[in-house]
Structures are given as C-alpha cells and as structure tokens.
Structure 1
Amino acid sequence: MFPETPAAAAALTVSRRHYSPALLNHCVRSYLWGAMYGAAHRIAFDDELFYVAALLHDIGLTEAFDSHRLPFEEAGGQLGWVFGVAAGWPAERAARVTDIVVTHMRADVPPDADPESHLLQVATSWEVVGRHPEEFPPDARADLLARYPRLGFGAEFLACFEDQARRKADSAAAASVRNDAAGRIAANPLESAPPA
C-alpha cells in the first residue's frame, strides 16, 4: 500500500514526530487519495516521490518548522529538499519535493506537466474543501476514513491557516482564508461523514 523504501520510512518517522494525529492522518490520506485518483485516471507517477511529498506537504504548519517569514508551503518545500538530500537522493530529486510541496498551493497543474503535483493538488483540495467529490466513491471514502479518521482535522487545519493569514498576509493561506476557507471546509462532505 505504501512505498517500502528507506526514504518513505524516514518520511513517516518525521511525520509521526512532528504532526498532530489529525495532520498526520491528513497527510497519509492525501497520499492515498492521490494514488487512488492516479490509478483511476492512469496517471503514471513516482510513488516514492509522491509519498514523501504528501507526507511532508504540511510540515511548515508545525511548530518546529513554521517559518516567521516564508509561507508554510515554501518552508515545507525547503525542508523537503533537506530531507531528500539527507535521504541520499540527488539534489535534483530532492528539488522535486520542493516543487511538489510549493505547487500544491498554486494554480492547478495538469497531470502531463507534473503528475505528482497534480495528484497532491487533487488530493488536498478534496481533503480540505471537498473539491471533485465525484472522483472518490462513498465506499472508498468510508474505508479510508475508518483506517485514518479525521480527528477534528477541519477545525485544526482552519486554525493553522488563520494563524498563517494573521502573520503572512500575502500568503496563499491568507488568500484562502479571505476566500471563505471556513465555509468551504465546513461544507466538505468529508467533514460531515459519520465517524467510523
């Protein structure tokens, strides 16, 4: 189900240490939703690279890695590069983690231009605001939420974005808050899914 490589195992270890349970499950679900969507649409992607990026994509929201200057996705992307190099990846491969983590908060990218970024954008927009619900059948939703429950993710994530918006007014998180993130998160069908 998950890539079995040293880098993948290390990404999970880092994630378990620094994320709250709700954010950890969100990152794992983001990988799984993205992989599910990729398989359904026959999108070829680098599984290890996507897994590492999915697990680290919100690391810039954590206390240990929150930058007082950089938007969370840029701080997290830079940490992704450091992580990749430390895992023994070539600098170019490590830089892909940066690209994916930063791009997931930008305008939509097509799968043929950057499959891993596309998958993370689809997965996180579904996870956070319920975008493209038709891509994720109810039985798959129930199974994934039973294995990796939300644990109050919506409220915790909104609080993180509101904090980012207060301190980093020009960030994508701030733009999201101004664009009614609270209402869009509350309307996400995953938020009203019955607990498993």
Structure 2
Amino acid sequence: MIIPHKTVAGIKIPDSAIASQATELLREHGSELLYNHSLRAFLFAALNGKQNNIRYDAELLYVSTMFHDLGLTAHYRSDDKRFEIDGANAARDFLRGHGVSPQSMQLVWDAIALHTSPGIAEYKEPEVALLNYAVALDVIGKGYDQLSHNDREEIVKQFPRNDLKKNMITTFFDGFKHKPHTTYGSINADICACMIPGFQRKDYCDLILHSPWSE
C-alpha cells in the first residue's frame, strides 16, 4: 500500500517516483510501527525546517527518513555493521540506481548513518540535522513542546504511534541482537544493556589501559 498524495500539518508528502519507490520498500520490508514512525519523522523534520526557515531538499530528506531504520529489518541488516550503516548503504544503492548525484547520495548516507549521533548530526547539513531532530522528537520526545498541539494531533491521527513507548526498544533490539558488538560507542548499547541479562559493554578506559602498547 502506497500513501496517497496528501498534505499533513501543512507539509506536502513527496510523491515523486523516487519517493514513492522508497515508501514501497519501507512498506515491503518494514513493520507498521517503523512505517508510521518514519512518516512522522519526515513531517516533524519538515515542520522544523519550515518553522526555522531552513532550506532543505524535501525529496532527499524523505528518502532519508524512509531508509533510516531499514537497517533493522531482516532484508537489509548485516552481521557486522551498525544498523545505521546498513540503512545508509541500502539508501545509497537505491539512489545510485536512480542516477542521483554522488553529492546527494553522500548527503542521504550521512543523514541515515548519523541519525542516532547526538552532538554531531545537528552541526551537519540541514537534511542530516533535521532527521536527527525528528527521530529524537518521535522516540524520546526531545523538542516536544516546540511542536504545536494541533500539529502533533494531526500527524499522530494520520500515522498512529502503535504503542511506540512499549514496542520501540524491542524493535531496535530485534534488529541487532545478533551483533551486539556493533553497538559499542553508540546509544544502542543502552538497549543491549536493557535487553541482555549481564551484558558487558566495552569500556573505553579499559581499552586504553589494556592496549598492546608496552608503556
């Protein structure tokens, strides 16, 4: 099922061939929770851009949001890479097939790869910063009060949250429970600590102190 051409909370959802095909892939390989989360993320990102007069490429931002969590899915996840990298690589391959410029492919790659990297993404290009902002808003409520009640209600009515607070941790974990080592240095290590009894995270200080250097 492809979303119809529509405007939600004053934001037009892109309906180009690339945008529609990206939506199809999310529908095919993602869950209802990830689909609705991704659509809300695009709308939150676009609203933030509109409110702050930020110029951005709506189509590239949309493709980034459609792919940003696809690295969690069985079709796209690898055995040895962070899920964000799997999603970024999938998006780059997708865009390459549409003849998109290398610069645009890199922009989308960065947006997806860095969407869980607070303290970095917000200082990058608008599309990268907006996706990071929107995902944080939807998942942990960062910037919740910056969005009007009416906009929140309209967006959630169109794309329900599917008990996200109860289900998102499990959804994340299912995407990388076979490779918990890839969560080192990221917020995803918190999910492994929550879901794996006795999980021991790598400690950077231990790595320094036990490096092979002799001194």
If the TM-score is normalised by the length of the shorter chain, which range does it land in?
Answer: 0.7 to 0.9
Distance in 1, matches of 2:29 and 2:192, equals 28
1:174 pairs with 2:188 = yes
Higher helix share: 1
* Residue aligned with 1:7, SS: helix
Taking structure 2 as the reference length, the TM-score comes to 0.77
- The residue type equivalent to 1:114 in the other structure is E
- Report runs of 4+ in structure 1 exceeding 6 Å deviation: 178-181
Q: Percent identity?
A: 25
Partner of 1:161: 172
One-letter identity of the residue aligned with 1:87? H
Deviation at 1:110, TM superposition (A): 6.6
Contact 2:42 2:61 in 1 (8 A): yes
Equivalent in 76, 85, 92 of residue 74 of structure 1: 85
Does 2:143 correspond to 1:129?
Answer: no
Count of equivalent residues:
181
1:93-121, Cα deviation, whole Å (9 max, x unpaired): 22221111001111334767410111011
Give structure 1 stretches of 5+ with no counterpart.
Answer: 182-196
Report the TM-score, using the length of structure 1 for normalisation. Answer: 0.84
Report the equivalent of 1:191.
Answer: none
Q: How many angstroms does 1:76 deviate by?
A: 0.5
For residues 56 and 94 of structure 1, what CA distance do their matches in structure 2 show?
A: 12
Structure 2 spans left out of the alignment, 5+ residues: 1-11, 196-215
The reply on whether 1:18 has 2:32 as its aligned counterpart is no
Against the structure 1 CA distance between its residues 113 and 97, is the aligned structure 2 distance closer, same or farther, given a 3 Å change threshold? closer
Partner of 2:64: 53
Rate the CA distance shift 1:77–1:110 in 2: closer, same or farther, 3 A: closer
- Cα deviations across residues 126-161 of structure 1 (Å, max 9, x unaligned)? 111111112111111111111100113333321133
Would you say the 8 A contact 1:165–1:173 is kept in 2? no
> Aligned partners of 1:165, 1:99: CA distance in 2, in Å?
24
Root-mean-square deviation (CA, aligned residues, Å) is 2.1
Give, as a single letter, the amino acid of the residue that structure 2 aligns with 1:104.
H
Deviation at 1:179, TM superposition (A): 8.2
Counterpart Cα distance in 1 of 2:88 and 2:114: 9
What is the match of residue 27 of structure 1?
A: 38
Deviations 1:49-77 (A, max 9, x none): 00000111000011111111111101100
1:142 corresponding residue in structure 2:
153
